Chains A and B, each alone.
Chain A
Amino acid sequence: MHLAYPATLAVLLFCVGLYGVLARRNAILVLMAVELMLNAVNLNLVTFDVWLRDTLHAGQALTLFTIAIAAAEIGIGLAIVLLVYRNRGSSDVDRLRDLKERDDAQAGAQAGAEAGVRGAGSRDGKSLAPATDNDADGGSDQARQGSSDAGRRPA
C-alpha cells in the first residue's frame, strides 16, 4: 500500500477536526472534533509503525497510550462541561467571557443586573450569562441558595 493514502487521510481528518474545533459553539461538539484530531494522529502513528516495522513497536504502543489518554480527556472534559452548564445554564464556549477585559463601571453595572436576574430565579433561560464577575457570582449563589434547591437541578 502506498504510504501516501493513509497519510493523506490522516491529514484530512485532522483538518476536519481543526475546522470543528474552531467553528463549533457547543463545548461537547468541540470535544467531538478534538476526538477526530486525536484519531488522525493515531492513524499516522499506526501507519508509520507498519511502514518502519519498528522492533519496539513504538507506534502501536503510543497509539494505545493516546487512546487511553483520550478516554481520560473526554471524561474530565465532560465533567468540566457539565459543571459549567450547571453553573451558567449554557455550554456555549463563546458565551464564557469572564476573563475578557472590560471597564470597571460597565462590569459593575452588568454584574448587578445579572445578579438581579439570577435572584429572580430564571435559571433555565438563556438570558443568563454572558459575563459575570466574582462578586456577582457570589451574590447569585446566595440568592439561589435562599430561593430553593429545586432550581439548581438541571443535571
Chain B
Amino acid sequence: MSPATTALAHAEPLQHPHSLQHLSSLQPLAAGHPGFLSPTGVEIIFLLVGLVTLGAAVVTVVTRQLVHAALWLVVALGGVAVEYLLLTAEFIAWVQVLIYVGSVVVLILFGLMLTRAPIGRSPDADSGNRWVALVVSLAAAGTLVTVVVDAFRATWIDLEQPVGPGEGSSEVTGMALFRHWVLPFEALSVLLLAALVGAIVLSRRQQAARAGTGGSGAPGKAGGN
C-alpha cells in the first residue's frame, strides 16, 4: 500500500456512527493494494497455516481411526485459532483455544470412550453414500469458491492498527460486549444453563424411577433410561 493511501486511512476518524459510511470510505482503498503475486509476510503465514488447517480438517473427516480423527480436529481448531491471531482478533483466538481445544475436544474424546469406539481402524466409519457426499461437497466448494473469489478479489483488509488497543483486544471486545451486547450475553448464559440441565437430565439414569416401580411394570419411557 502506498504511503498516501495509508495516511488517508489513518487520517479519518475510526469512530463512525454507521458502518456503511465507513464501508463506502473503504472502497477507494481497495484499488491500492498489492497484487496476489506479491504477498506480504502476513499473507504467506496465513496461507501456510491455512494449508495445515485444511489438511488437518480433511484428515479429520476421512480417517478411519476414530481417536485420530479427534486428535486431527485439535490441529484444525488450533490452526483456526492462529488464523484469528493473524487477523488481529486476539481475544477470539484465546477463547477458541480455551473452549474448542480445551473442552470440546475433551468432550468428544470422552464420548468416543463412552461409546466404546474401536482403537484401531474401523472399516465402517464411512457410510455408503460417501461418493454422493463427495460430489455434493465438491460442487458446493466449487460454486462457493468461484463466487467468493469473484466477489472479493479486489478487497483489501487493512490490518494496520492505529495507536492504542487493537480491534480484537480484550479491552475493545469487552467494551463492545458489555456495552452493546449485554442482553444477548445474558440470554446466552440462560441458554448455557438450560443446556447444562438438559445434558444432566439426558445422561442420568432413572434408577429412582426403576426402584419405585419395583420391576413390576414397564418403566417410564419418556425420559429414556
Contacts and interface: CB of A to CB of B under 8 A. Distances in A.
Given A12-B141, A64-B95, A26 B77 contact: no
Nearest to A78: B111
Given A3-B157, A24-B127, A76-B198, A13 B91 contact: no
A81 B198 contact: no
Contacts of B31: none
Interface in A53-94: 53-57, 60-61, 63-65, 67-76, 78-83, 85-87, 91-94
A6 interface: yes
A138 interface: yes
Given A16-B61, A19-B61, A82-B115, A70 B54 contact: no
Contacts of A42: 80, 92, 96
A125 interface: no
Nearest to B152: A3
Given A16-B61, A32-B70, A3 B126 contact: no
B22 interface: yes
A107 interface: no
Q: Point out which of B137, B156, B192 has the most chain A C-beta atoms below 10 A from its C-beta.
A: B137
A23 B57 contact: no
Interface residues of B, number: 104
Given A22-B132, A76-B195, A14 B144 contact: yes
B32 interface: no
Interface of A: 1-9, 11-20, 22-26, 28-29, 31-33, 35-36, 39, 42-43, 46-47, 49-57, 60-61, 63-65, 67-76, 78-83, 85-87, 91-94, 134, 137-138, 141-142, 145-146, 152, 154-155
Given A15-B140, A56-B19, A80-B202, 8 more contacts: A1-B157, A4-B149, A13-B57, A35-B104, A50-B157, A57-B180, A68-B188, A82-B115
18 contacts: A1-B159, A6-B46, A18-B133, A22-B136, A23-B127, A29-B61, A39-B80, A42-B96, A50-B159, A53-B14, A64-B92, A64-B95, A68-B99, A79-B203, A81-B111, A91-B115, A142-B218, A145-B210
9 A-B pairs with the lowest CB-CB distances in the bound complex, closest first: A22-B133, A20-B61, A72-B195, A57-B176, A19-B137, A15-B141, A23-B133, A79-B202, A3-B155
